[in-house]
Amino acid sequence: MKLSVLIPAVISILSCLACADPVLNGGFEEALDHWVFSGCSATDVNLFIAYRHYNWDWDANRPVPNGVRVTPVEGGKLIFLRSGGGTKSTSYSQINQVITLNQGELIRGKYFFATDDYIDFNDFGVIKLIPSDANQAQIQLGYESVNHVGDFGSNLDWVPFSHVITANEAGTYTLQIKVADCWDCDFPSYFLVDALAVLSDANCNFMLDGDVDGDCKVNLIDLAVSQNLPDGGQIKYIDALARNWLIDCSYDPNQAPCVPW
């Protein structure tokens, strides 16, 4: 059999065997590609300066930054969602993506919450899975609020989250990321998210560019999975696969492309 026929056949078989359905653009390097947005504002940024304590600039009528700097977990971008703040018609921001999850897979990411509001008005940020099957329950992956971080407060650093899918939870979901005002819209809150991924190996503790199926290695299965994605064949996949071909972070975690989670 000619290689020109054999290789596509092997890739097709491997793509059927591969488990993980990746979160597309989970690192937000391509702004909001593959995400559905609604609400006030969602922007890809490379830096956010958070507010931590009550330090008010009376001339500008807002809290003063005190140096809590938030940079991307991976790559050069993160997603920055802002609740309304000042208009009732845009009291929230959210982005959604439909994904399919199988038993044993792990979904993970990191979030950061900050607010210009105070405890009487409990603005919140949430990450959850909303099932397509009405017989399944929602799965809350992450949640943060003004009541937890305090007046004009924030998290101190990125907060990691993860969840392993059980047999009863396997199915198709809408992955939703949302930040919302509570009671009024006078002061906004902010929700940052990065490094969203679905892993076929729940024990994989590394981020590896080109590891499309999430098993801490780059091989033919990643090539097969990438070809079946809606944006498969793009140079970003080819480049990542070429740079990290046959790297296995579980076998040798000291290799430079293996970024600890």
Decide if 209 contacts 2 (C-beta within 8 A): no
The Cα–Cα gap between 185 and 230 comes to: 38
Q: Which two tokens stand for residue 68?
A: 């809590």
Q: What is the pLDDT of residues 1-17, one digit of tens each?
A: 443 443 454 444 444 44
Identify which of 206, 204, 214 has the alpha carbon closest to the alpha carbon of residue 260.
Answer: 206
Decide if 79 contacts 177 (C-beta within 8 A): yes
CA atoms within 13 A on the CB side of 253: 9
Alpha helices per DSSP H over the chain: 3-17, 146-149, 220-227, 235-244
First CA to last CA distance, the chain: 43
* Fold annotation for 21-199: Jelly Rolls (2.60.120)
Give the pLDDT score at 59: 67
The Cα–Cα gap between 69 and 116 comes to: 16
Q: Which two tokens stand for residue 159?
A: 């907060």
What is the longest distance spanned by two Cα atoms in the chain?
77
Instruction: Report how many helices (DSSP H) and strands (DSSP E) the chain contains, helices first.
Output: 4, 16
Decide if 7 contacts 83 (C-beta within 8 A): no
Q: Which two tokens stand for residue 116?
A: 């210009």
Question: pLDDT per position in the chain (261 positions), as tens?
Answer: 443 443 454 444 444 445 556 899 999 999 999 999 999 899 999 999 886 555 555 666 666 556 688 999 999 999 999 997 665 556 899 999 999 999 999 999 999 999 888 788 888 999 999 999 999 999 999 999 989 988 888 898 999 999 999 999 999 999 999 999 877 767 888 999 999 999 999 999 999 999 999 999 999 998 888 877 776 556 777 889 999 999 999 999 999 999 999
Give the pLDDT score at 7: 43
Alpha helices per DSSP H over 50-195: 146-149
Give the pLDDT score at 44: 96
Give the pLDDT score at 94: 96
Where along the chain do the CATH 2.60.120.260 domains lie?
21-199
